[in-house]
Amino acid sequence: MSVSPMRLHGKRAFITGAGGGIGRATAEKFAREGAAVICADLHAGPAEATVAAIRAAGGRAATVIGNLTHEAACTAMFAEGAAMFGGIDIIFNNAGICLGEDSGPVETPLPIWDATIAANLTSVFLCCKAGIPYLEAAGGGVIINNASIVALVGSAFPQIAYTAAKGGVLSMTREIAIMYARKKIRAVAICPGPTATPLVNVFLADEEAWALRRRYLPMGRLAQPAEIANVVAFLASDEASFITGAAYPIDGGLTSAYVIDDSA
Ligand SMILES: NC(=O)c1ccc[n+]([C@@H]2O[C@H](COP(=O)([O-])OP(=O)(O)OC[C@H]3O[C@@H](n4cnc5c(N)ncnc54)[C@H](O)[C@@H]3O)[C@@H](O)[C@H]2O)c1
């Protein structure tokens, strides 16, 4: 028996939205597991804060800044990131937005639909388009796409554009998994439930909104970003070598629920 090394030792990971809640937690987890982390985000400040935290803990990380909904920016960000650490082995497509005006199909303005689809679905397509050649050059790799429970179940408190985008992410993940299975590239989706990050604050701004949502959470609480990051690190590692095309709920039981006893 040998003592196992860090699970992502020697890997180079491109993480989008690395300045945000789940992205930052995952970047820090990946770095602790030995990966060099390329922290991609629209905003320099939050991404630099992620990098600073990783470096302070002795890890390796750097930022690439740009808008992942634009093909030229996306291509440039992957080229810059790959040049920093000599290639890319793992892509975590995590960047996304939720807009307050995203509601039902009748109410949602078209510009809100377009912006939501661009940030949550088109960006994942563009990152796969720009990033897969680097995984192929590395002899294989892993793509993990951050979808959501709303890709699996519907909600009567709708965000129709967000839901449609996340459903698209799930379908795209399956297709890429099958296309590249024999090229040693795995593709997996995660479907987190509500997680304590700035993004959900849009929907939990007041006590009434939180009370309404809490009723439907079997554990009665949000996920912490680290609880999502732990699963992503496993899926990115060689321990998950036979997992591709799958969708992983990380939801505290939410998608298993029919009736919830919320008296506790
Ligand atoms: N928080 C939740 O409850 C929850 C649940 C399920 C899925 N998710 C998904 O997890 C992902 C991360 O969410 P979070 O809660 O950490 O959000 P967050 O708002 O904390 O972080 C998102 C990050 O993505 C970046 N980003 C957004 N658009 C971008 C673009 N066009 N180009 C580059 N960067 C961009 C933002 O700047 C931000 O740093 C999202 O895809 C979200 O849909 C979140």
Q: Average model confidence (pLDDT) for the chain? A: 96
User: Is the CB–ligand 1 distance for residue 191 below 6 Å?
Assistant: no
- What are residue 6's phi and psi, to 5 degrees? -60, 145
Phi-psi region of 157 (alpha: psi -120 to 50; beta: other; left: phi over 0): beta
Kindly report the CATH class assigned to 12-249.
alpha beta
Summarize pLDDT for 173-186 with one digit per residue, the tens: 999 999 999 999 99
Ranges of each domain in the chain: 12-249
Among 144, 136, 150, 160, smallest CA distance to 192 is for 150
- Predicted local distance difference test score (pLDDT) of residue 199: 80
Q: Measure 41 CA to ligand 1 centroid, in angstroms.
A: 10
- 201 or 133, higher pLDDT: 133
| Residue 216 is a catalytic residue | no
- Predicted local distance difference test score (pLDDT) of residue 160: 98
Summarize pLDDT for 23-65 with one digit per residue, the tens: 999 999 999 999 999 999 999 999 999 999 999 999 999 999 9
Q: Alpha carbon of 254 to those of 165, 166, 210: distances in Å? A: 20, 17, 15
- Predicted local distance difference test score (pLDDT) of residue 211: 86
Summarize pLDDT for 194-203 with one digit per residue, the tens: 999 988 876 7
pLDDT at residue 1 greater than cutoff 70: no
Q: Find the farthest-apart pair of alpha carbons in the chain and give their distance in angstroms, rounded.
A: 61
Q: Which residues contact 263 (CB under 8 A, 6 or more apart)?
A: none
* Contact call for residues 128 and 143 (beta carbons, < 8 A): yes
Q: Identify which of 197, 202, 204 to mutate to test ligand 1's pocket (most ligand atoms within 8 A of the CB).
A: 197
Nearest-CA residue for atom 17 of ligand 1: 199
Q: Enter the tokens of residue 27.
A: 């970047």
Q: What angle do CA 181, 29, 38 make, to 5 degrees?
A: 70
pLDDT at residue 4 greater than cutoff 70: no
- Predicted local distance difference test score (pLDDT) of residue 198: 82
Nearest-CA residue for atom 11 of ligand 1: 94
pTM for this prediction:
0.97
User: Is the CB–ligand 1 distance for residue 22 below 6 Å?
Assistant: yes
Q: CA dihedral defined by 106, 111, 116, 121, rounded to 10 degrees?
A: 100
DSSP 141-183: EEEEEE--GGGTS--SS--HHHHHHHHHHHHHHHHHHHHHGGG
Among 116, 103, 107, smallest CA distance to 160 is for 103
Summarize pLDDT for 71-128 with one digit per residue, the tens: 999 999 999 999 999 999 999 999 999 999 999 999 999 999 999 999 999 999 999 9
Q: Measure 222 CA to ligand 1 centroid, in angstroms.
A: 16
